Amino acid sequence: MAGTELQSTRGDVAAEVPSAEWGWSGEAPKFFRVMAVIAAVFLLLMLIGNHEGHVESLYLIGSAALLIFIVARDAVRRRRLR
pTM of this structure: 0.65
The residue among 4, 55, 80, 57 whose CA lies nearest residue 72 is 80
Question: Does 15 have pLDDT greater than 60?
Answer: no
Question: Does 6 have pLDDT greater than 60?
Answer: no
- Model confidence pLDDT, tens digit, residues 23-37: 666 677 888 999 999
DSSP E strands in 1-82: the ranges are 5-6, 15-16
- Model confidence pLDDT, tens digit, residues 39-67: 999 999 999 988 788 899 999 999 999 99
pLDDT at position 13, please? Answer: 44
pLDDT at position 51, please? Answer: 78
Domain range list for the chain: 27-81
